[in-house]
Amino acid sequence: MTTNPLTVAVLGPGGVGGLLGGLLARDGHRVVCLAGEDTAAVLARDGLHVRSGQFGEFTARVEAATELRTPVDAVLVTVKATALSAALDRLPPRALGSALVVPLLNGLDHMAVLRRRYPAARVVAGTIRVEATRTAPGRIEHTSPFAAVELAATGEPLSPVPEFAEQLRRSGLPVALCEDETAMLWSKLSFLAPFALLTTRHPGGIRAVRSEHRPELLTVLDEITTVTRAVGAPADAQALLTMFDRIPGTMKSSMQRDVEAGRPTELDAIGGAVLRAAEAHGVAVPALTRLVDELSAPTEG
């Protein structure tokens, strides 16, 4: 990588991918969105239209294809965990080569999947904290008052990660580098899992969780903190509670939105990942287990 404009592929130009792709394209980078035929046709014709309280409202021109066919500097993998396996067909290893691969998915399991599939590439763990939704192909609504990215710093000489982080910063995104991949991934999951499970389980979302179901919230935060520490990452239940008390009452988890829209959820990628880690480290998590079981149960009607 150089300080020249980059070529960045976005695998899954939905809420997260569309927002990042739009910001990079607006900043002068070549962005190639990889999607199905209908979505790719809309993006190639109309570009990405982003509406954001943080970044403004704008339309950015992008390229679009159903499969990566030309070399790129980096790939942002921003599909849902439930769609990852099928989406990777759009990203042949031979076309990807040694490009930087940055997954911004929920959960943990995708890291092993990508590293097995792309041994020649540099698969670098990443997280994003944001609420962004695709309302139609190429139409992105960024509804949270924040968007923050973390990337795992590999520490290898001449790593492209610091420069890629700087390019993202220039597009307007706050980006932090983290030396501990496990700590970085669990820092997000330790908040996301309680947030997603509780807001999806209880009508009324985060407002109801903080008031009507506060004892359950406290129990779940204690359990996730214990699991996080068991895997070797730092965690603080009180700090998590402070975060829960400060987030906007209207904020929804992506899992909650998926249930409302009748879409498949990332229950296994989020809740399942926590339960598997708890079992592997001999940690009892009855409240989290009950939540996952209840959300796994088929609905009547």
Average pLDDT score over residue span 98-118: 96
Instruction: Quickly count helices (H) and strands (E) in the chain.
Output: 14, 11
Beta carbons of 255 and 267 less than 8 angstroms apart: yes
Quote the distance between the C-alpha of residue 55 and its chain's center. 19
Length of the chain: 301
Give the Å distances, CA to CA, from 269 to 104, 243, 252, 265. Answer: 13, 22, 18, 9
CA distances from 32 to 203, 245, 273 (A): 39, 39, 31
Average pLDDT for the chain: 94
Which tops the pLDDT comparison, 297 or 12?
A: 12
pLDDT at 301: 39
Rounded to an integer, the average pLDDT of 294-298 is 89
What residues contact 88, with CB distance under 8 A and at least 6 apart? 11, 113, 117
Tokens of 131: 């609420």
CB 245 within 8 A of CB 191: no
- Confidence bin at 7 (pLDDT 50/70/90): very high
Please spell the DSSP secondary structure of 61-124, one letter per residue: --EEESS--S--SEEEE-S-GGGHHHHGGGS-HHHHTT-EEEE--SSSTHHHHHHHH-TTSEE-
> How many CA atoms lie within 13 Å of 235's alpha carbon, on the beta-carbon side?
24
For domain 183-296, the CATH superfamily is N-(1-d-carboxylethyl)-l-norvaline Dehydrogenase; domain 2 (1.10.1040.10)
Every domain of the chain and the residues it spans: 7-179, 183-296
Q: What is the CATH number of domain 7-179?
A: 3.40.50.720
* Tokens linked to 115: 């590293």
Cβ-based neighbours of 65, under 8 Å, separated by 6 or more: 32, 33, 34, 40
By three-state DSSP, how is residue 50 classified?
strand
How far apart, in whole angstroms, are the C-alpha atoms of residue 155 and residue 106? 24
pLDDT in tens, 133-152: 999 999 999 999 999 999 99
Tens of pLDDT along 257-290?
Answer: 999 999 999 999 999 999 999 999 999 999 999 9
What whole-number percentage of the chain has pLDDT above 90? 89
